[in-house]
Structure 1
Amino acid sequence: MSTATTPPDAPQAALDLADYLNVLRVYWKAIVAFTLLATLAAAGWTVLQPKIYSSDSSGIVVTPGSDNVSLALAGDSLAKAKVKNYESVAKSRLVADRVIQALDLKTTADALLGSTSVKVPLDTAEITVTAQSTDPATAQRVADAWVNGLAAQVEAIETAPSGDAAGQTSAVATPEAGSSTNADTAVRVLPLGKALLPTSPTSPNTKVNLALGALVGLALGVAYALIRRHLDRRIRKAADIEGLFGVPVIGTLPVDRRLDGKSTIVDAGTAAQLHDAGGAMAEALRELRTNLSFLDVDQPPRVIVVTSSMQAEGKSTVTANLAVTMAASGENVVVVDGDLRRPTLMDVFNLVPGVGVTDVLTGTAELVDVLQPWGALPNLSVLGSGRIPPNPSELLGSRAMKNMLTTLAKDAIVLIDAPPLLPVTDAAVLSRAADGAIVVIRTGKTTQEQLDQSLGNLEKVKGRILGAVLNYVPLKGRDAYSYYGTYASAPTPSSAEPEPVDDRTGEDTLDVLEAAHGGRRARI
């Protein structure tokens, strides 16, 4: 049976909304961790930053007023035109030097300019100065002194003789705003009150920093989740197997805590108990048994190899429990331990070890002597591996092995627990002597590359692939195993509640029937 496999390096299909939501569900812990770490980092950075206080002070450019409307409008236009020129004056070192001299600050003009900003609101004659400092009082004083220094500098410029250089104006003694020279000044700057003392820092902004940190962390977490999803090649759902490799999934087995760390029979009771066993695992095994019977109704497989890509994927557990489930339905079943390197079925069924396949193949024992029935189900027998040989592959591929399996298949369905496909070639060799192979895949562990190589190994020897069994399917999540519990049958008459009885006597009831039939008493 050939399979249309997709190369492992083939591009993955584009994600839809459901896929994105599934990525968030799977990696939500990592996303939350990234968000918290980034938020904590932003909080730590905020704590380490010095607190900066800001204070604003304003001045307005005015011209001499007039009772003439035309002159008043012309003065307003002149003030708005001058304020654009004075904005550059307010940002100059000349004003910064005046502030340093007035407040006796221990700083440079360039440093003071770096902590002070000047703005002119659109279509106004106002100039706003914002001073920043680690000390709120200093910020307030600098803002007021800057407006006063600007007023003095503007006055020096406006009163300077024509042709005076800017450097000459800086040497003029600092006049106070509103001095007697104002009468000769066409345009001047008037302060608009005192700056307010800031009570809270404007920087750092704790709320904004924390919000940005959380946003960056969330973005990093989502990016990490998407990258992990793109790089994660593990198989998690049946649709991946059928879509990528064209192999039918004939069974999905849920996680069962009774199988943690060991291979065992889930329900090891009597035949009736095994047949009626409830629970998700028991129902999944019965579904697998049913699907096997419908694989080929004309020539159903009698010898089936159960294998996996790597060890610890649950193939021995699946083999043993599937055999028990098939035997519970009345089938004659023989389980053969075909793992001649690391046999486990003797421990699973708790039978006598040391005798089995190798003894029959080498002619040291007869098949009937080493075939051990399992006590709970008489129609289930187990053939152990026997002594571990030095050449397992040669024995499993021998004609004697083929003849032994043919003999067993005459009266029973034969399930062979084979070694994994990738470490050794034993399972591929066994598949040639069998009617088909079942590949067990462990959810969230087996990768696409491993399954692709395993199926390729079976194809190379012309082995028939019956299907795949998805094992350890989680009981929770988007791709969880769906189990609806026991579908209860209708109650038996003995267990049903009694129907209500008419309070009237039987004779009254017959009278009612007689009236209903036109006075004739019904014959019962």
Structure 2
Amino acid sequence: MDDNDQAGAATLGFDHYVFVLKRQWRILVVATVLGAIASAGYLLLAPQTVTATTTLNLNVITTEPFSAQRAASGLLDDATETAIARSHVVATRASELLDGEATPGEIRAASTVATSSGAAVVTVDYDAPTAAAAVKGADAVASAYLSFRSDQAQERIGVMVTNLNERIDALNTTLGEVNQQLVSADPSSAAYAQATTQRQQIITELDGLLTQRNGLQSVDTTGGIVLSAAEDNELGYAPGRTVTLLTGLAGGLVLGIIAAFIWNPLDRRLRNAAEISRSLRAPVFATVDAKREDVPAKGAAADSLRVTRERLLVDIYLGTTVLVIDATHSDETSPTAVNLAVVTAQVGHDVQLIVPAGTEEFREHLGTALELDDAEEGRAVSSSIPTLRVFTASDSGDERQGDLLLTEQTHAAIADAGDETLTFVVLPSSAHPASILAGLRVAQSVVVVAREHDTTTTEIRWLKEEADAIETPLLGAVAERGLRRAQRTERGIAWPFVARSERTNAARANARTAIESPATAEAKA
């Protein structure tokens, strides 16, 4: 396969996906709406969690807070500070600050601690069912954490200062004893020199201890400061409204796409001319309104059928037979199928119309609409359209016939048509497959009359395959806009273009008059 073939296949596949999605857009809309409803219901029913955040800046507790040798943040440890903030001791203090509204275990489960900038900045998150509880909990955990750090520092410094005080007191006592020795000793003696040296050592050590004690007593034991309280930060909600709704919409859309491709093969009814043309792989010559079903056609329907006639005459030749498949699923033959022959005859061509299937009432209506004269050997000529004749076989329904619709007389009528005559054979798609296959065999071309929302892909596909198998060209289709169910009910079982009972009764009377012999009419008179 060359690059052009591959590009064509890719385009065809993409077109197919677009076609299916456009055809099943209702499923996409319904699935998307259901996804939105499901996500909204989840937001209403699911327990809501509000997350409040408090941000802290920790103080480094050291005697040299402004030392240039090492940054203060380097004296903090991430893991240690996180463990302290999530400790049971801090949770207990926070529980006391909350007046017992939450146990230490609940506080530890609801709180999350994160550090940054070398643990210099600590973020405390607290989850609660309500915004007020979340804000209060986050601030309580942060306050308990800072107070614990401060208390721990003060405690350690207190122990160190106590030890230094004890050592300083001991040295002062020793220094007093040495001073007494110096007073009583001879300045020139060895004892005096030794006491002097000892006194100097004690004073030096005392100076160092006093310096350490003064340094410890000046240490800032504040645990840190609150950079932003919980009420100053944006609250987080779980499940998030926007994310949940978007997820529901996206999930519904994805499920709708899947459902559209699953349902599309099962949805066999063709909705519009584009779908009819795609299924038939042939053009739709025109679209007519089934609500205006006049015979002969009038107004816009007549204009559309004239366009169809001109397109058909490009592909068909005089003396040939055109099989018109009526796939409208009406109770009687569609007027559009009849009008294809009528408009062709109106342009001056000799046309023979054969409609093997149909009730007696239908034939009466047909005779009235086309003003047919007396039938001779089953052939009746239209008074209003002299080049149109309608053939009606009298051997229909005989089980001894080769076919119940295309009988011997029908075959003879097709064979006897002149070289300048176009024969239109109208068969319903509901006819027995044998009759349709026989029609395909005797015809030189095929035209389909389809109705939106009634014609199915199954019958179109079968007809296309059978026509291709015997190389009978399927020229195209005429599409009818479907009738609403109420209109179908109103029309009842009468032939569609006779919409009122008065017109039906008049048609019957005229048909009887048309087929009576002159002698019978004179006797009745």
Q: Which moved more, 1:93-102 or 1:18-27?
A: 18-27
Q: Normalising by the residue count of structure 1, what TM-score does the alignment of the two structures yield?
A: 0.63
User: How do 1:195-210 residues align onto structure 2 when only pairs under 5 Å count?
Assistant: 195-197=229-231, 202-204=236-238, 205-210=240-245
Q: Equivalent residue for 2:289?
A: 256
Per-residue deviation, 1:248: 5.3
Contact 2:112 2:124 in 1 (8 A): yes
Q: Equivalent residue for 1:349?
A: 366
Per-residue deviation, 1:422: 6.4
Per-residue deviation, 1:224: 4.4
User: How do 1:144-183 residues align onto structure 2 when only pairs under 5 Å count?
Assistant: 144-154=139-149, 183=217
Supply the distance in 2 between the matched residues of 1:469 and 1:313 (Cα, whole angstroms): 20
Are the structure 2 counterparts of residues 315 and 469 from structure 1 closer, same or farther at C-alpha, using a change threshold of 3 Å? farther
* 2:295 maps to which of 265, 268, 279: 265
Q: Equivalent residue for 1:192?
A: 226
Per-residue deviation, 1:60: 1.0
Supply the distance in 1 between the matched residues of 2:227 and 2:424 (Cα, whole angstroms): 97
Supply the distance in 2 between the matched residues of 1:240 and 1:131 (Cα, whole angstroms): 58
Per-residue deviation, 1:304: 2.8
Q: What percentage of aligned pairs have identical amino acids?
A: 20
Are the structure 2 counterparts of residues 208 and 264 from structure 1 closer, same or farther at C-alpha, using a change threshold of 3 Å? same
Contact 1:428 1:463 in 2 (8 A): no
Per-residue deviation, 1:76: 0.9
Q: Equivalent residue for 2:81?
A: 86
Q: Equivalent residue for 1:45?
A: 42
Contact 2:271 2:453 in 1 (8 A): yes
Are the structure 2 counterparts of residues 344 and 12 from structure 1 closer, same or farther at C-alpha, using a change threshold of 3 Å? farther
Q: Which moved more, 1:11-20 or 1:223-232?
A: 11-20
* 2:413 maps to which of 372, 389, 404: 404
Contact 1:61 1:83 in 2 (8 A): no
Q: Equivalent residue for 1:66?
A: 64
Deviation string 1:437-464 (CA, Å, 9 cap, x unpaired) is 434444565455433322444567x573
Query: One-letter code of the match for 2:411?
Result: K
Secondary structure of the residue that 2:123 maps to in structure 1?
strand
Q: Where does the alignment leave 5 or more consecutive residues of structure 1 unmatched?
A: 1-10, 162-181, 268-276, 357-365, 475-524
Query: One-letter code of the match for 1:402?
Result: H
Are the structure 2 counterparts of residues 464 and 402 from structure 1 closer, same or farther at C-alpha, using a change threshold of 3 Å? same
Q: Where does the alignment leave 5 or more consecutive residues of structure 2 unmatched?
A: 1-7, 157-215, 483-525
Task: Answer yes or no: is 1:284 the counterpart of 2:280.
Answer: no
Q: Which moved more, 1:409-418 or 1:17-26?
A: 17-26
Looking at secondary structure, tell me which structure has more helix per residue: 2
Per-residue deviation, 1:119: 1.7
Are the structure 2 counterparts of residues 252 and 236 from structure 1 closer, same or farther at C-alpha, using a change threshold of 3 Å? farther
Supply the distance in 2 between the matched residues of 1:188 and 1:395 (Cα, whole angstroms): 107
Q: Equivalent residue for 1:362?
A: none
Supply the distance in 2 between the matched residues of 1:344 and 1:294 (Cα, whole angstroms): 35
* 1:416 maps to which of 418, 425, 431: 425
Contact 1:443 1:471 in 2 (8 A): yes
Query: One-letter code of the match for 1:42?
Result: S
Supply the distance in 2 between the matched residues of 1:399 and 1:230 (Cα, whole angstroms): 40
Supply the distance in 1 between the matched residues of 2:10 and 2:393 (Cα, whole angstroms): 45
* 1:324 maps to which of 311, 319, 342: 342
* 2:355 maps to which of 314, 329, 337: 337
Contact 2:51 2:235 in 1 (8 A): yes
Per-residue deviation, 1:254: 0.4
Supply the distance in 2 between the matched residues of 1:151 and 1:127 (Cα, whole angstroms): 11
Secondary structure of the residue that 1:389 maps to in structure 2?
coil
Supply the distance in 2 between the matched residues of 1:39 and 1:376 (Cα, whole angstroms): 62
Supply the distance in 2 between the matched residues of 1:301 and 1:238 (Cα, whole angstroms): 30
Contact 2:277 2:477 in 1 (8 A): no
Task: Answer yes or no: is 1:381 the counterpart of 2:389.
Answer: yes
Q: Equivalent residue for 2:313?
A: 293
Q: Equivalent residue for 2:476?
A: 468
Q: Equivalent residue for 1:303?
A: 321
Query: One-letter code of the match for 2:388?
Result: L
Per-residue deviation, 1:435: 4.5
Secondary structure of the residue that 1:394 maps to in structure 2?
coil
Supply the distance in 1 between the matched residues of 2:228 and 2:273 (Cα, whole angstroms): 75
Per-residue deviation, 1:329: 0.9
Deviation string 1:338-363 (CA, Å, 9 cap, x unpaired) is 126x57751552449xx99xxxxxxx
Q: Equivalent residue for 2:179?
A: none
Q: Equivalent residue for 1:481?
A: none
Secondary structure of the residue that 2:312 maps to in structure 1?
helix
Supply the distance in 2 between the matched residues of 1:19 and 1:241 (Cα, whole angstroms): 14
Q: Equivalent residue for 1:428?
A: 437
Per-residue deviation, 1:86: 1.3
Contact 1:147 1:191 in 2 (8 A): no
Between structure 1 and structure 2, the one with the greater Rg is: 2
* 2:28 maps to which of 28, 31, 53: 31
Supply the distance in 1 between the matched residues of 2:471 and 2:231 (Cα, whole angstroms): 87
Q: Which moved more, 1:233-242 or 1:136-145?
A: 233-242
Q: Normalising by the residue count of structure 2, what TM-score does the alignment of the two structures yield?
A: 0.63
